[in-house]
């Protein structure tokens, strides 16, 4: 009896495929109710001959559709609410796929020996839905009524979808916004935390301490992203911006930070496309300077000033001075615009900061800190001072600033805003003073 009933069902599907027209599916016109209207198909054969059935609801082996229904994509954005989730669903052997809302009923029909979506109500239907934990379930059913509206068949099965949503390679992405955002980030360089902030960062720079840096280059200039695991960013105004308000934008999230790699996951606005980018840490230069060979003939001039020779130039240093060593020699950083260029890596080179004079066992010591060009390494500098013959002198005054990093000239520090001075402008050489007499 079960075999006869199953055969009858297959005959109806075959009959259905003959009567349906080959019209493209329009998901918007699909009947989304669970109770289909009376079928328009001829059921007069039921109850006659080998198809003789009881008018009561029957049970029969349910066709296995688990291998026919394909879940192609899901909105996996971390900011997506359950009611905002969309699913992209298809059928094995079918060319078209569709985005639907969970809980939407779809009707199926056999055409050319394959299942296809139908614009019309058919006995066979599926309904994907989400449970309270956001997990996907697929409900499948067969419902067949006679001309009087009485149910002849009513079978429902459901099972959980164990789907691992795969990310795409950036080259496979279709969404133009995500593709642009991904390409901008893909070429970035990962540098370790900026140790300058750990030692000299003021209150407004505490948020940058111990954060990894991603250096981005574009036609609009250089941008430095300070990141930590779990933070989110949005693609806005053709650049990446840190933000917790991510809806309506392509977004990225720092998924993992380890000593060896950083992983970002990116999503398009709808969350249906996702990309995973991995960064390996760049190798920064080591400190190779012998600082005792750089600062020679150190002599105390006042309690906060010293005279010395740098690049064979007689120089006055004041407590808090910053000096950067580039391909053209040592240069004094003189204003906050140059500091901005230095922090944004527009100016690169070993950096020395003069901390002042200290006394150790009754002797004065020249103290400071030396950083490599990317400021991922630091070295404490302590050099003994030479004794002067004529006591303290008052050298010419020059403009200086506090050792601590103060606010930059722009409202959004360290997010890639070009410095107001020309970043290609050469730094001025260290000023030379005629302050030495031959011993």
Residue 387 has a pLDDT of: 53
Q: Are residues 270 and 323 in the same domain?
A: no
Residues 419/340, Cβ–Cβ less than 8 Å = yes
CB neighbour list of residue 391: distance below 8 Å, 6 or more residues apart: none
Residue 150 has a pLDDT of: 81
Residues 129/103, Cβ–Cβ less than 8 Å = yes
- What are φ and ψ of residue 182, in 5° steps? -65, -40
- β-bridge partners, 279: 262
Residue 431 has a pLDDT of: 57
Q: Does residue 232 lie within any of the structural domains? A: yes
Distance CA 123, CA 13 (A): 8
Q: Are residues 177 and 291 in the same domain?
A: no
Distance CA 102, CA 138 (A): 10
Distance CA 418, CA 427 (A): 16
Q: Are residues 204 and 322 in the same domain?
A: no
Q: Rg for the chain (alpha carbons), in Å?
A: 36
Q: Does residue 146 lie within any of the structural domains? A: yes
Is the CA virtual torsion 333, 337, 342, 346 positive or negative?
Answer: negative
Q: Are residues 196 and 329 in the same domain?
A: no
Residue 405 has a pLDDT of: 53
In this structure, the chain runs to a length of 439
Return the half-sphere exposure (C-beta side, CA atoms, 13 A cut-off) of residue 12: 26
CB neighbour list of residue 137: distance below 8 Å, 6 or more residues apart: 128, 129, 130, 131, 158, 159, 160, 161
Distance CA 371, CA 290 (A): 12
Q: Are residues 10 and 148 in the same domain?
A: yes
Q: Are residues 200 and 265 in the same domain?
A: yes
- If one counts every other C-beta atom within 10 angstroms of the C-beta of residue 268, the result is 24
DSSP one-letter code for 16: H
Q: Which of 142, 160, 178 is the last residue of a domain?
A: 160
Q: Does residue 165 lie within any of the structural domains? A: no
Distance CA 356, CA 361 (A): 17
- β-bridge partners, 256: 263
Residue 43 has a pLDDT of: 47
Q: Are residues 276 and 290 in the same domain?
A: no
Distance CA 319, CA 37 (A): 88
Is the CA virtual torsion 361, 363, 369, 372 positive or negative?
Answer: negative
Q: Are residues 54 and 129 in the same domain?
A: yes
Q: Are residues 95 and 11 in the same domain?
A: yes
Q: Are residues 215 and 340 in the same domain?
A: no
Residues 368/352, Cβ–Cβ less than 8 Å = yes
Q: Which of 99, 134, 160 is the last residue of a domain?
A: 160
Q: Does residue 201 lie within any of the structural domains? A: yes
Distance CA 1, CA 181 (A): 61
Q: Which of 116, 134, 160 is the last residue of a domain?
A: 160
Distance CA 239, CA 418 (A): 13
Helices (H) and strands (E) in the chain, counts: 5, 24
Burial 124-149 (b: 16+ CB within 10 A, else e): bbbbbbbeeeeebebbbbbbbbbeee
Q: Does residue 138 lie within any of the structural domains? A: yes
Comparing C-alpha atoms, which of 298, 312, 431 is closest to residue 368?
298
Comparing C-alpha atoms, which of 413, 407, 357 is closest to residue 386?
357
Report the number of distinct structural domains present in the chain: 3
Q: Does residue 204 lie within any of the structural domains? A: yes
Task: List the alpha helices (DSSP H) in 334-390.
Answer: 336-343
Q: Are residues 115 and 193 in the same domain?
A: no
Pairing state between β 189-191 and 212-218: antiparallel
Q: Does residue 66 lie within any of the structural domains? A: yes
Range of the domain at 372: 286-439
Is the entire prediction scored with pTM above 0.95? no
Quote the Cα angle for 142-148-150, to 5°. 40
Which residues of the chain fall below pLDDT 50? 1-8, 10-43, 45-58, 388-402, 406-425, 433-439
Quick check: helix, strand or coil at residue 423?
coil
Distance CA 214, CA 232 (A): 14
Residues 373/293, Cβ–Cβ less than 8 Å = no
Q: Are residues 141 and 94 in the same domain?
A: yes
CB neighbour list of residue 297: distance below 8 Å, 6 or more residues apart: 307, 308, 309, 386, 436
CB neighbour list of residue 79: distance below 8 Å, 6 or more residues apart: 232, 246, 247, 251
Residue 50 has a pLDDT of: 38
CB neighbour list of residue 406: distance below 8 Å, 6 or more residues apart: 202, 336
């Amino acid at each position: 009896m079960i075999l006869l009933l199953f055969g009858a069902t297959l005959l109806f599907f075959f009959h259905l495929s003959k009567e349906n027209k080959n019209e493209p599916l329009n998901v918007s016109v699909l009947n989304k109710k669970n109770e289909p209207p009376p079928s328009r198909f001829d059921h007069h054969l039921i109850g006659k001959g080998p198809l003789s059935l009881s008018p009561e609801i029957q049970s029969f082996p349910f066709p296995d559709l688990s291998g026919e229904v394909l879940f192609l994509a899901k909105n996996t954005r971390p900011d997506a609410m359950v009611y905002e989730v969309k699913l992209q669903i298809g059928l094995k052997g079918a060319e078209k796929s569709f985005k639907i809302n969970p809980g939407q009923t779809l009707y199926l029909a056999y055409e050319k020996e394959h299942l296809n979506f139908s614009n019309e109500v058919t006995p066979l239907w599926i309904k994907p839905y989400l449970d309270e934990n956001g997990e996907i379930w697929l409900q499948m059913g067969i419902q067949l009524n006679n001309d009087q509206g009485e149910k002849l068949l009513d079978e429902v099965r459901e099972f959980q979808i164990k789907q691992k949503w795969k990310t795409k390679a950036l080259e496979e992405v279709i969404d133009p916004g995500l593709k642009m955002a991904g390409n901008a980030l893909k070429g970035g360089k990962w540098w370790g935390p900026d140790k300058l902030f750990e030692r000299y960062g003021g209150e407004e720079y505490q948020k940058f301490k111990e954060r990894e840096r991603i250096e981005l280059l574009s036609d609009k200039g250089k941008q430095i992203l300070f990141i930590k695991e779990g933070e989110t960013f949005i693609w806005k105004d053709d650049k990446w911006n840190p933000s917790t308000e991510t809806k309506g934008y392509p977004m990225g999230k720092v998924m993992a930070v380890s000593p060896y790699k950083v992983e970002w996951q990116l999503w398009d606005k709808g969350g249906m496309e996702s990309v995973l980018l991995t960064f390996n840490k760049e190798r920064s230069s080591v400190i190779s300077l012998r600082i005792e060979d750089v600062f020679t003939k150190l002599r105390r001039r006042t309690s906060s000033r010293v005279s010395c020779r740098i690049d064979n130039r007689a120089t006055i240093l004041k407590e808090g001075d910053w000096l950067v060593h580039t391909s053209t020699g040592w240069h004094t950083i003189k204003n906050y615009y140059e500091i901005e260029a230095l922090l944004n890596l527009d100016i690169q080179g070993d950096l020395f900061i003069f901390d002042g004079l200290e006394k150790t066992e009754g002797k004065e010591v020249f103290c400071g800190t030396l950083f490599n060009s990317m400021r991922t390494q630091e070295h404490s500098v302590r050099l003994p001072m030479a004794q002067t013959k004529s006591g303290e002198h008052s050298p010419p005054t020059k403009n200086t600033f506090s050792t601590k990093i103060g606010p930059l000239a722009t409202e959004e520090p360290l997010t890639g805003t070009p410095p107001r001075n020309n970043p290609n402008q050469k730094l001025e050489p260290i000023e030379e003073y005629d302050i030495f007499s031959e011993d």
